[in-house]
Amino acid sequence: MQDRTPLEAYDVVDLIATKRHARELAPAEIAWVVDAFTRGLVAPEQMSALLMAIVIQGMGRREIRDLTAAMIASGERLSFAGLGRPAIDKHSTGGVGDKITLPLVPLLAALGVAVPQLSGRGLGHTGGTLDKLESIPGWRADLSNDEMYRALRDTGGVICAAGPGLAPADRAMYALRDVTGTVASLPLIASSIMSKKIAEGADGLVLDVKFGSGAFVPSLTEARELASTMVQLGDDSGLRTVALLTDMDAPLGRAVGNANEVREAVDVLHGGGPADVVELTLSLAREMLALAGMPDLDPGPALADGRALAAWRRIIVAQGGDPEAALPVARETEIVRASATGIVQRVDARAVGVGAWRLGAGRARPGDPVDHAAGVEVLVRPGDTVRAGDPLFEVNCDDPGRLARGLESLATAVELGAAAPVERPLIAGRIASADASSAASSARSASRSTTA
């Protein structure tokens, strides 16, 4: 008979029943089930049942904290001591056209802040930073811890995939959540994000929590709760954390895809680019500089004078890429035109993201290939006046067989009206430590919030 430690005395079926009946799991119970699942002592079917019970019944603040701690304890913790500069990370909850990491990391690196950016790949209608960067010939996402540290020391910025040793329990649990309909849960989202960010070992973290049709969180209320929960988790662990709440109801910038988003990011690094991409890049940069102890430093000039662009080139070269190489260009292009005259009220970010995904820019399952040349160029913004026949979108892909489904998604993505729409701010709020303490509710009903 296999030896059992005291922690292995729990029966996972009892823990599933506890959560199914909306009772709290004890700290030792949470620590045991996460550890036992990681070691293969809890079957995937059993963990899936527990995850579904959490989605339905929620978790209290203490449970979320204990779940996060257990996932951190399942693997290694990194350290960036010895870099000679503060290490400040940024995380976005994801959205359509969100290429902010690309100009933000070199901008901060040019200003003396190290940015260890562990990023992911796209799934469904939201894009992945690593997929975008893999449009660049030679660039690679998979670095060892030593390679990541050296790149960060030498260039000030690194954008790469998380290694297998970082919060492996979260990696295994997310693989189950992805195929069992249990992604959309505030406790699970918060603990998944923060377990990796805390284990990463940065000195501070800025969160970009998105809401709207192009985000996983549809409402500002849910985004505020998620942000508050994550900020408190960071503070509980000693990681100074700030969150911005940003509107993702319309695509961010004009490019949605992979290679086209890299081009747009490089435009920003040349001192140009869409106004909303520049605004969010600078807003996040200011928050990161404040956490780095440079609250009075203006990041704007570094975009205009070439310092950030030079840092971008160094960062890309350090990961094997050629920043001067031509990016992929699609073989098929089609224009979507307005069928009527009016003022643009709304550009539905989800519809645009789904269109780009159908064209081949995204993937339906982990491991699927992506078409780096595929994507959508958004040619209008809310408030623009268009006439029948004016171009709304430029659609690009390599596979002509994908065009029809991509165009179908974009057919109703633009809403027209007779009057100018009410202007919406890009940044709808900010959550810092004191705000999170007052805003986060410990009531279980509040923690049941989902993003379906």
Tell me the catalytic residues. 91, 170, 177, 192, 196
In angstroms, the CA 440 to CA 435 distance is 8
* Residue found under tokens 């199914």: 20
- Tallying the residues shown for the chain, one arrives at 452
- Using CA of residue 310, residue 314, residue 316, residue 322, what is the dihedral sign? positive
Residue 199's nearest CA partner among 285, 86, 118 is 118
In angstroms, the CA 440 to CA 434 distance is 10
Displacement of CA 366 from its chain's centroid (Å): 16
Q: Give the burial string for 142-153 (b: 16+ CB within 10 Å, else e).
A: ebeeebbbebbb
> What are the CA-CA distances from residue 331 to residues 302, 374, 393, 399 (Å)?
36, 9, 16, 8
∠ Cα 350 355 358 (to 5°): 125
Structure tokens at 274: 């869409």
- Left, alpha or beta for 54 (phi > 0: left; psi -120 to 50: alpha)? alpha
Q: Give the burial string for 110-139 (b: 16+ CB within 10 Å, else e).
A: bbebbbbbbbbbbbbbbbbbbbbbbbbeeb
Q: How large is the angle between the packed helices 145-155 and 307-318, nearest 10 degrees? A: 160
- Amino acid letter, residue 334: E
Structure tokens at 110: 């040019």
Q: How many CB atoms lie within 10 A of CB 45?
A: 9
Q: What is the DSSP string of 203-244?
A: SEEEEEEEESTTSSS-SHHHHHHHHHHHHHHHHHHT-EEEEE
